[in-house]
A and B are shown apart, each in its own frame.
Chain A
């Protein structure tokens, strides 16, 4: 499973977390994906 797939999985399971999309976007940017 790739890093992006791991992050996608986290986001899908944490939609109710405040700022989840921002955490996800920041991690994607950090990884250069």
Chain B
């Protein structure tokens, strides 16, 4: 005979103090430039971090951004991912970017389809930084040239 001993369990709870909140300031701005038909995606964002964040200007790979891209012209939606770096720290306000200064960040580098000229794309970046939670994703709509 198998004896079972069950005891009441408690539901997992999320500690309100675990994640520190980050607030967006303004929107995402993108440069979706093409070189010989290959598009790159470089974005800059500004956010307010809690005091004592410890980040420094030029710090690399502080987190990742989950990309949700809708190509309105071509009619497809896809997801990708890119690293997030710090452009400049000014107190608790921090400029973030999704590409290092000198690097080329092509759509295909982020797991995305290379778009075509005149495509309209809607991009949403959800920033993931360990220990932090961002209020809302950054979004932008771009008409490619």
Chain A residues in contact with chain B, CB under 8 A? 1-3, 5-7, 9-10, 12-14, 16-17, 20, 23, 26-27, 30-31
Minimum CB distance partner of A17 in chain B: B26
Tell me the smallest distance from the CB of B28 to a CB of chain A, in Å. Answer: 8
In the complex, B50 has a CB within 8 A of chain A = no
Bound CA span A14–B140, Å: 12
Instruction: Chain B residues near A30: list those with CB within 8 A.
Output: 57, 88-90
Q: Please classify the interface of chain B as helix (H, G, I), strand (E, B), loop, or mixed, using the class held by over half of its residues.
A: strand
Q: B46 touching A3 by the CB < 8 A rule?
A: no
Q: B26 touching A20 by the CB < 8 A rule?
A: yes
Q: Please classify the interface of chain A as helix (H, G, I), strand (E, B), loop, or mixed, using the class held by over half of its residues.
A: helix
In chain B, positions 73-124 with a C-beta closer than 8 Å to chain A are 87-91, 93, 95, 97, 99, 101
User: Of A6, A13, A26, which is within 8 A of B90 by CB?
Assistant: A26
Q: B87 touching A7 by the CB < 8 A rule?
A: yes
Bound CA span A6–B140, Å: 15
Q: A27 touching B45 by the CB < 8 A rule?
A: no
In the complex, B69 has a CB within 8 A of chain A = no
In the complex, B42 has a CB within 8 A of chain A = yes
Bound CA span A12–B140, Å: 13
Q: A6 touching B97 by the CB < 8 A rule?
A: yes
